Structures are given as structure tokens and as C-alpha cells.
Amino acid sequence: MSQLVLNNVRKSYGDVEVIKGVDLDIKQGEFCVFVGPSGCGKSTLLRMISGLESITGGKISIGGEVVNDVAAADRGLAMVFQSYALYPHMTVRQNLSFGLENINTSKTDIESKIGSVSKMLQIDMLLDRKPKDLSGGQRQRVAIGRAVVREPSIFLFDEPLSNLDAELRVDMRGEIADLHRRLGNTMIYVTHDQVEAMTMADKIAVLRFGEVEQFGAPLEIYNRPNNIFVAGFIGSPKMNFVEGVVAKLDGSNLTFKTKSGAEIALPAADFDLSEGANVTLGFRPNHLTIAEGAADLKVTVRDAEQLGGESFVFGQCDDAPITLHLRGQTDVDHGAEIGVAIDREHIHLFDTDSGNTLRKA
Ligand code: ADP
Ligand code: MG
């Protein structure tokens, strides 16, 4: 069942349109992540859903009811911010109960809710402290707890983990995913970090310049990106791209010719192609191997990183940066010229001008 539906939602500040007609359908209980580069409109879109920001056009519905004119406090949502936004002069307990007193909950109800939520988030030992006496991770737990006690129909998170150090971020990622499993609520989570998006989401909306470039399950987006932007944004290290032309098309085989004239035979059955078209070949770093025999590409190595169990090789082919992600260890190092083979099963082809995928629907 749809819980949150956006129809052609728009936002302008003066003459500048920052949200350019967003359509989304988020189902009851889904964990949906809005991901995209800084400034693409993630926070604006989230604030429009919350009611903290007015909308310039379109329609927002929650549980089948249009909420365009419903005040933020009456939308049944709770928001968690990057900055925590705790009241510094209040104890943890007071921070948790504050929202509830505002909506006339009885004292015993408040006590029991705070008891169970603080246990669930492991902040029950901290109830009498003030925010300044908490670590970053503890503060973020209190901020999440404050949202949980309000029992919202939808949780909205705006980069809640950005202020935490890397290790704590990974822990909290797991805790929020766990919270979602326990509560089963619809959650919308904004981040610029594609790893957070991939690991936490049921559905990802990839945003760019105020538009949704692709909406789907994480692996669907990873395996079948709609365009070069999505292909390059989702996945780490990012996908490699080499520009060229379709030199020959022969049934289900194509000859791809790079700018410097290297020819690569590729399977063409999955793609809509025409001879002479300018296309960009995409392949992920983990879909490359160092060629034993004939190579697809010649790569000049700039640097190699040895992590023991895996290695990364960074180099250049013509003017395109090429990254290899290899299992195990490698003896390749700076200055080497290597031949590289591309796994034919995992290639992507894009129209170079529009950036759109050429994969058949
Ligand atoms: P994100 O959260 O993805 O980093 P934002 O939603 O904060 O992006 O911002 C999207 C765009 O809208 C940016 O270009 C930003 O400068 C602009 N913007 C945000 N708030 C305002 C405002 N109050 N007035 C004018 N422009 C704004
Ligand atoms: Mg933001």
C-alpha cells in the first residue's frame, strides 16, 4: 500500500527552481533513501514532505490524504537532523518527553514510553544527563529516541550520521536498520553517501539537480543504471567509462572502437545500437582482470594500493581514468603498462551525448 506519494512536486526560490517535478511512490513500511551530491535538493525535498517548507507546485499525499495544506505538526511525521537539534538546557528525559507533553499525553504513558524507547536505544543510563555530557553517538540516539516516542507514521532522517566518526557511523547504520525492522514504520533517509544508501535502503531515489534520475531497489540500480550519472554515483570505487564508436554491428556482436583506435569485440544482444553511434562503454573495477593473453585495453598504472586481501590499481587508458579492483595481492606498481580484460557479462553501454543507457528495457 502506498504511504507517501509525490506527484510532480516542485520548489522554486525566486526564479531558481531547485525541485523540478518529482514523482515518487513510497510503500507502507519501506526504508527509502534519497541520495545525491550536495546541493541536489535532498533536504529541500524532505522538508517539503515534513511541511517545514512550502511547495511551489504538485501534490504530496500521506496515507491517501493530500497534505499540501496540512501543518507540519499535524502530518504525523517525525524528523531527525544531522545537528541533533536537542534542547541544551534540558536533560535527556526532558528532551524525550518534550514533544509528548505538547500533544497532551498522560504522565504514566510518557514514563512508560521513555522507559521502553531509552532501553531500546541504550540510553536508559543517561536520562538525567544534559546533551553536553553525551558523546556524538549518544546525542544522535537521543535525537532518534525523541522521534520514536512520538510514534510517527513516517520517520524522516536528514544525514543523521554525518557528524559521527567513520566507525560509529557504521554501528549507527546497523542500529537504524535494526530500528526499522523492529518498528516496521516507513522511513525516509537522506544521505550523500552511496554506501549508506546501498546498505540501508529497500528503495533508493537517486537525485541530481532537483530531479529523480532513478528510483528502485539498490541492486536494481547498481546492476541496471539508467544513465552515466547514476552508474558513476552508485558503486565504489566508481564505474570506469571509455568513450568510442560502434564501428561494426553484426547480429549480436559489436565492434567497439576507442578514440585511440583500439577495437573491442562485445556482445550486443542486450542493447539498442546503430553503427557509427557515439557510445560510452562502462565497466566496474571488479569486472576487470589483468589479461593473461590478448588484452581489451592497455592501461598505464599510476598507483596501486595493496590491502592484503584485495588490491586496487589506478591507471589511465587514453584520457580515461581506469580503476581495477582485484582479489588478493598484485605485483603491479607505478609506471607499469598492463593489458586489461573486461568481463563481457557485466558491460554497460550509454549514449555518449544524452548519457542514457542503451540497454533494452
Ligand atoms: P542537499 O540537501 O541535497 O545538499 P538542499 O536541498 O539543501 O540540497 O539545496 C538544494 C538547492 O536549493 C541548493 O542549490 C541550495 O542552494 C538551494 N536552497 C536551499 N534552501 C534555499 C533557500 N532558503 N533559499 C534559496 N536557495 C535555497
Ligand atoms: Mg542537505
| Digit-coded pLDDT (tens) for 131-176 | 999 998 899 999 999 999 988 999 999 999 988 888 888 988 998 9
Residue 98: predicted pLDDT = 86
- Looking at domain 2-231, does it have CATH number 3.20.20.70? no
Longest dimension (CA), the chain: 77
Where in the chain is CATH 2.40.50.140? Answer: 240-351
Q: What is the DSSP string of 264-323?
A: EEEE-TTB---TT-EEEEEE-GGGEEE-SSS-SEEEEEEEEEE-SSEEEEEEEETTEEEE
40 CB less than 6 Å from ligand 1?
yes
Q: Which atom in ligand 1 lies closest to the alpha carbon of residue 37? A: 3
Q: Which atom in ligand 1 lies closest to the alpha carbon of residue 42? A: 3
- Name the band, by pLDDT with cuts 50, 70 and 90, for residue 72: very high
- Would you say residue 308 has pLDDT above 90? yes
- Name the band, by pLDDT with cuts 50, 70 and 90, for residue 102: low
- Would you say residue 103 has pLDDT above 80? no
- Residues with Cβ within 8 Å of residue 264, at least 6 apart in sequence: 255, 256, 257, 258, 281, 296, 297, 342
Rounded to the nearest integer, the mean pLDDT of the chain is: 94
- Would you say residue 99 has pLDDT above 90? no
Report the pLDDT averaged over residues 315-330: 95
Q: How far apart are CA 173 and CA 307, in angstroms?
A: 24
Topology (CATH level 3) of domain 240-351: OB fold (Dihydrolipoamide Acetyltransferase, E2P) (2.40.50)
Q: Give the environment of ion ligand 2: residues with CB less than 5 A.
A: 43
Where in the chain is CATH 3.40.50.300? Answer: 2-231
Find the radius of gyration of the CA atoms of the chain: 24
**259 alpha carbon to ligand 1 midpoint, in Å?**
39
Q: Which residue has the cell 531500546?
A: 120
41 CB less than 6 Å from ligand 1?
yes
- What pTM did the predictor assign? 0.94
206 CB less than 6 Å from ligand 1?
no
Which of 240 and 160 is assigned the larger pLDDT?
240
43 CB less than 6 Å from ligand 1?
yes
**Residue type at 233?**
F
